[in-house]
Structure 1
Amino acid sequence: MQNYSTFFTVKRLWIVLIVSLVLSFSTLLYLGGQIYQKAPPIPSAVQTTDGVVVYSKQDIEDGQNIWQTTGGMQQGSIWGHGSYLAPDWTADWLHREATALLKNIKLSAVEDGYQITLKNTMRKNTYDASTGVVTIGQNRADAIAQTEQHFVDLYTSSSQKYKQLRKDYAFPIKIVLNKEKARKLSAFFFWSSWAASTNRPNDDITYTSNWPHEPLVGNTPTASVLLWSIISVILLLAGIGGIVWYYASQFDKWRQESEPEKGIAKADFIENTKVTPSMKATAKYFWVVAALFLMQVLLGIITAHYAVEGQGLYGLPLMEYLPYSVTRTWHTQLAVFWIATAWLATGLYVAPLISGHEPKFQRFGVNFLFFSLLLIVVGSFAGQWLAINGFIEDLSLNFWFGHQGYEYVDLGRFWQIYLFIGLLLWVGLLLRALLPAFKDKNLKSLLFVVVLATVSIGLLYAAGFMWGKNTNLSIVEYWRWWVVHLWVEGVFEVFATAIISVLFVRMGLLRASVATTMVIFTTIIFLGGGVLGTLHHLYWSGTPISIMAVGATFSALEVVPLVVIGFEAYNHKKLEHQADWQTNYHWPFMFFSAVLFWNLVGAGLFGFLINPPIALYYMQGLNITANHGHAALFGVYGMLGIGLMLYSMRGLTDIKKWNNKLLKITFWSLNIGLAMMTFLSLLPQGLWQTYQSMSESYVSARSVEFMQSDIMHALVWARVPGDMVFAVGVFAFTWFVFKAFIAKK
């Protein structure tokens, strides 16, 4: 058997990487075209058999925009995407309309068979493609009117009953819609429910593949859901077997050859490296990272507490100033902002470090980018607060400067464009500083991976421009997950892996040829599953079965590389104890090791728990997905961001004056707190909801009666110990950063 170095030549690896990327993105774009063609249509009118218009297309589109101004996915969810406290509006409308229609059928029917009549009425597709009209009977029109009245009463806060319901949903009490806006919002909720209960043309499954689980209308898992779940598990097991066998057979050879030809470096190369003006200018980025991290955690505590108190924090009337949809928007946005800022700043710091070159006006560019990013954060947050608090009446103005309502890309389009320009500036600053390093032939292929990831970070964010103010939600979701999955979870991780490998080579810890082979090989495996694995987010978003087939298959393959984490953890430990000077990097290495653990648990185990279609059918939008989100986003990307930040601080501060006790508290508090948060609260909440979703219906697992039950309250309160431990780590980290930077070097 050939060993890895002869079988995986650099040239061969590059060919495989390029071919796999071309095939993966071509397939992703082709399937995107299928989504465009087969998305649930927005009818020109929903009207009765007598020609009375119930909703117009303008009503539905305006309703979608009004939903965005209220916080969109940050106040309940649509098709399972969004927040977990208020109901899923699709499932809620569907259940209420079906219940009302069943009552109307019973009153008007001459004989039994009410359930069959209900199912046939709800699932029959009466959309006329030539006119764009959906035609409904009078019974259903009456049921829609009754359901609409509930939502109008809820959003206008018409009575004490609905004031209490708003409190349970953590709605802002004083911010209400007028009746016309509430009616149009209802039209959008109706459309999302219509897509979930109406069969596709010439088919017996709905536009959302029978999601959500709702026995009243016959929404149960399809044969495709079960089939592709089985196939995904088989592929996972086969992939694990193959990669463990190959990895185990080659690991000793790889480990023996990983040491540099001249042996491990005897001294820390940073000791003799000049910190350039642009490198010093990155210090302010890390100050802001610490501040944003602290703010994000405080907002997370407030947001979680709203689940039990509804309108405040231990009696403090915060809801009057910071509604739930605001705190959750900022909490999720800050998670992306502080982690991305840490990674971007690390790139700006290490580029001159690797090349030994400081381009002209580099410090000016670094400073200009910093203040631009600061303005984007402040400006977008202000727009979101104004929108949710009802100060932005114009729907177009809200789209551009307010709240777009789509989780993780909530910022207004103007701020999106500004951020995209900022990312392109970052790409230019990093590449011009890194360019001289290409003179080192040993690093050339490794640096090309860095360049590929860097350019991708800049360009992929543009996927967020592919939808407009009135774009069909299925299409919005397709492009949104390009940003969330491919940008945040994909190319950033490739960038970090490549940068760390280059640094290890520069530090004299790793042989360049081995690093190159392993980084390109890892990128092939990671993106090979990750690009098309994006589609597992779209099973129930009005997409065809082909999306489920490809998404289930490739999302299973995403998990495969994570099973060899044990080998990587062992090698990290070996690297750390090769020379005395490596103690300078003890804490960055510890955080990198934590990334390996949470990659296995948060991204791997918790991720695959919800990836198979049959699992996600019942779990979508429940706390089981929040469990995966917290463990993966912070456990992997947050820990990696902190590790990269500490590496950069090694050259920006005096390491001899570092308070290692604070770092020890930070490390263990963050890891133990995150574990407590997930295993004691989020995971049990999600499993309890899943049981309810499977045994009864999806809507019941999200209902106010279930969410405000004693068991759910107890499980929410069980999160407090973990939050407190985690908060200790955050405060310790913030204090460490402050002390490290103010100490004279």
Structure 2
Amino acid sequence: SGRLSFYGLPAIADGCTNNFPYEPTIDQGPADALTVWSVASLLFLLVGIGACLLFVGRDKEADWKASVPPYPMMSADGNQPASIRGLLKFVVVVGLLLLGQTLVGGAVAHYRADPGSFYGLDLSSVFPSQLVRTWHIQLAILWVATGFVLGGLIISRIFGGKEWKGLATMTYFLFGAFGFVIFGSLLAEWAGLAGWWGNGSGSFWLGSQGWEYVEMGRAFQLIMIVGFLVWAYVLIRNTMPALKVPGKRFLAWVFLAFAICVPVFYIPAIFFDDMTNYTVVDTWRFWMIHLWVEGFFEAFATTMVAMIFVEMGIVSRQRGIKIIILEAILTFMGGIIGTGHHWYFEGQSTFNMAVSSCFSAMEVVPLVLLCLEGWRFYRISRVGGAEGVVHQHKWVFNYFMAVGFWNFIGAGVFGFLINMPIVSYFEIGTYLTPNHGHAALFGVFGFLSLGLCVYALRKNLNDAQWASVKLWIKCSFWGFNIGLAMMIALSLLPSGFIQLWDVIHNGYWHARSIEFVTNDTMSLTGWLRMPGDVVFILFGAVPFFIGACKAWWINWKSRHAVED
């Protein structure tokens, strides 16, 4: 009874908690439904992958290559309009936030391996572990979202093809607004933990709301929603000329539909306050985390990538439309209902587990399709007249190809592993969860956001200018990939399986206890995180930030030289 009170759960388990948590000393184990629906989810997965392979095998349109560029291309010559040049500042901010997040992440990992000190320094007196953990997650969301904001602005401007009056001013306004939200919220969270806002509603509105992934104070959250709505307005104005072109009209409408969904489906993040019931909060919280990020943001991202390839003349318009629609169907089919895999053990019914486990397994299917399409594009892009475009945008493509790889590994393999009810019952809250989170969040949305940033860099630099920046981008690409792989292989994945083993043998409470997570074995796997972190920071984040700053400086100097 003492152990059960540790979890705040009743002594008698019911269908709503599915006998969670696991406690062998009182014969509390997984409910039968967990095994049954785990098997059913495997069937859904295998049938879905089989249908995907059948579709690809029957596809007669195996060639992605467009016969000619369908639209006039905006060349990468460094002579871009003011609204495109202004986006280089966004890339610098992305690089700065990414560098900050990696440094904070290193501190989080160190707190795990050596909670008592930071190489002899009392770092926790200035940056307590709660703060660096909050900043680590918050910074990840902010720099990824900034990259997506940049991507929407540049793609809509290129696709629309017109520089309307006030566009550059609106771009600068968005830069200032997002900068205020980003840096203001981070400092306010620090002040909140220092006690500046008190313990009441002041901390909720200005400091941290206290919910993972929704840490930002409510006031800053509201300002960010307004910023997203203004961003959507800019995208609509940018894209309107394309709505009058028959060949562009459908792609433009799809782009705008998903762009508008980005601010609209973030709004549920304010559907609760600091006094709302936990189950209600977690319902809306994962509505925002799962549906906003893995649903509408992913559909918007797929649309942006397809439009980039269409604009370059590498992908035919028909092929781009086909991929967008198919990806959206598969993503939403599995993602919307599959959101329930977050709610297996917190008051939802067994029916939620049944449908969400099966449809969650279907989320792997579009990832398999992405891998197949990525390989197909990789082959086609290197033959048949596309060499010039591919060579010019090689590192943009490489970042996008990394998205496909990590999408399958991080979101597909590691995500499906922990989404199965029988596995989730034992592993939830162990290191298998951040193993999936790092591989999926950075590997998918991170690489995609950085790919959009590299696209903006390349558009604003001519070949000679790009040559001095390219080496930094190349180094960062390999530093990110190698560093992330080392983090997973040396630390996160081994830690997760060691902890899972202890859950099964000694109970959930034991594997989550401070004594276990700080024992010699877990401390060793914590220290093994360092090599991957060093590679990720020194050869990934630092070169990317330097490359972004150098590109901005080169562009600024060349522009003012022309004006003089």
Distance in 2, Cα, partners of 1:293 & 1:477? 27
2:451 counterpart residue number: 643
Distance in 2, Cα, partners of 1:438 & 1:272? 27
2:562 counterpart residue number: none
Distance in 2, Cα, partners of 1:565 & 1:494? 13
Q: Does 1:445 align with 2:445?
A: no
* CA deviation string 1:172-214 (max 9, x = no partner): xxxxxxxxxxxxxxxxxx7xx44x3354xxxx62642221112
Q: Does 1:507 align with 2:316?
A: no
2:519 counterpart residue number: 709
Distance in 2, Cα, partners of 1:439 & 1:467? 42
Alpha-carbon distance, 1:273 to partner? 9.6
AA matched with 1:367: Y
Alpha-carbon distance, 1:572 to partner? 2.5
Alpha-carbon distance, 1:266 to partner? 12
Alpha-carbon distance, 1:272 to partner? 7.7
Alpha-carbon distance, 1:336 to partner? 0.5
Distance in 2, Cα, partners of 1:214 & 1:438? 60
Contact 1:198 1:207 in 2 (8 A): no
Q: Which has the higher contact order (CA 8 A, sep 6+)?
A: 2
Alpha-carbon distance, 1:421 to partner? 0.7
RMSD of aligned Cα (Å): 1.9
Q: Does 1:615 align with 2:423?
A: yes
2:65 counterpart residue number: 259
Aligned mate of 2:323, from 513, 518, 540: 518
Distance in 2, Cα, partners of 1:490 & 1:619? 24
* CA deviation string 1:137-162 (max 9, x = no partner): xxxxxxxxxxxxxxxxxxxxxxxxxx
Q: TM-score, normalised by structure 2?
A: 0.94
Q: 1:500 to 1:565 in 2, by over 3 A?
A: closer
- Other structure's SS at 2:177 match: helix
* CA deviation string 1:2-38 (max 9, x = no partner): xxxxxxxxxxxxxxxxxxxxxxxxxxxxxxxxxxxxx
Q: 1:222 to 1:337 in 2, by over 3 A?
A: same
Alpha-carbon distance, 1:560 to partner? 1.5
Alpha-carbon distance, 1:268 to partner? 5.7
Contact 2:491 2:528 in 1 (8 A): yes
Q: Does 1:240 align with 2:46?
A: no
Distance in 2, Cα, partners of 1:395 & 1:539? 31
* CA deviation string 1:411-467 (max 9, x = no partner): 111111111111111111111111111122122222222111101101011011111
Q: 1:383 to 1:219 in 2, by over 3 A?
A: farther
AA matched with 1:583: H
- Other structure's SS at 1:391 match: coil
Larger radius of gyration: 1
- Other structure's SS at 1:211 match: coil
Contact 2:484 2:532 in 1 (8 A): yes
Distance in 2, Cα, partners of 1:716 & 1:545? 36
Q: 1:225 to 1:472 in 2, by over 3 A?
A: same
Alpha-carbon distance, 1:96 to partner? 4.1
- Other structure's SS at 1:608 match: helix
2:553 counterpart residue number: 742
Q: Does 1:537 align with 2:342?
A: yes
1:370 counterpart residue number: 175
- Other structure's SS at 1:405 match: strand
Alpha-carbon distance, 1:662 to partner? 2.2
Contact 2:77 2:459 in 1 (8 A): no
AA matched with 1:392: W
Which runs of at least 4 in structure 1 moved beyond 6 Å after TM superposition? none
- Other structure's SS at 1:410 match: strand
Same amino acid, percent of matched pairs? 36
Contact 2:374 2:404 in 1 (8 A): yes
Q: 1:555 to 1:394 in 2, by over 3 A?
A: same
- 1:136-147 aligned within 5 A: none
Unaligned runs of 5+ in 2: 559-564
Contact 2:16 2:350 in 1 (8 A): no
* CA deviation string 1:651-695 (max 9, x = no partner): 223342233332222111110110010011100000000010011
2:218 counterpart residue number: 413
- 1:24-423 aligned within 5 A: 95-96=2-3, 193-194=7-8, 196-199=9-12, 205=14, 207-250=16-59, 253-256=60-63, 258-260=64-66, 262-263=67-68, 269-271=74-76, 275-423=80-228
1:553 counterpart residue number: 358
Q: Does 1:434 align with 2:239?
A: yes
Alpha-carbon distance, 1:622 to partner? 0.5
Distance in 1, Cα, partners of 2:178 & 2:274? 24
1:694 counterpart residue number: 504
Q: Does 1:582 align with 2:390?
A: yes
* CA deviation string 1:525-565 (max 9, x = no partner): 11111111111111112222122112101100001122234
Q: TM-score, normalised by structure 1?
A: 0.71
* CA deviation string 1:712-744 (max 9, x = no partner): 111111111111111121111111112222124
- Other structure's SS at 2:315 match: coil
Q: Does 1:676 align with 2:482?
A: no
AA matched with 2:299: V
Alpha-carbon distance, 1:624 to partner? 0.4
Distance in 1, Cα, partners of 2:235 & 2:513? 49
Contact 2:312 2:389 in 1 (8 A): no
Q: 1:276 to 1:232 in 2, by over 3 A?
A: same
Distance in 2, Cα, partners of 1:404 & 1:717? 31
Q: 1:96 to 1:445 in 2, by over 3 A?
A: same
Distance in 2, Cα, partners of 1:368 & 1:572? 37
Distance in 1, Cα, partners of 2:71 & 2:180? 44
Distance in 2, Cα, partners of 1:207 & 1:225? 12
Distance in 1, Cα, partners of 2:328 & 2:188? 38
Distance in 2, Cα, partners of 1:319 & 1:607? 32
Distance in 1, Cα, partners of 2:169 & 2:454? 24
Distance in 1, Cα, partners of 2:222 & 2:389? 44
Q: Does 1:492 align with 2:297?
A: yes
1:625 counterpart residue number: 433
Contact 2:77 2:460 in 1 (8 A): no
Distance in 2, Cα, partners of 1:271 & 1:461? 34
Alpha-carbon distance, 1:521 to partner? 1.3
* CA deviation string 1:356-406 (max 9, x = no partner): 112221222211121111111222222221222233324111111121111
Unaligned runs of 5+ in 1: 1-93, 99-189
Q: Which moved more, 1:288-297 or 1:306-315?
A: 306-315
Distance in 2, Cα, partners of 1:313 & 1:265? 57
Distance in 2, Cα, partners of 1:268 & 1:725? 37
2:536 counterpart residue number: 726
Distance in 2, Cα, partners of 1:616 & 1:266? 48
Distance in 2, Cα, partners of 1:393 & 1:208? 35
Contact 1:654 1:740 in 2 (8 A): no
AA matched with 1:644: L
- 1:451-462 aligned within 5 A: 451-462=256-267
Alpha-carbon distance, 1:333 to partner? 0.4
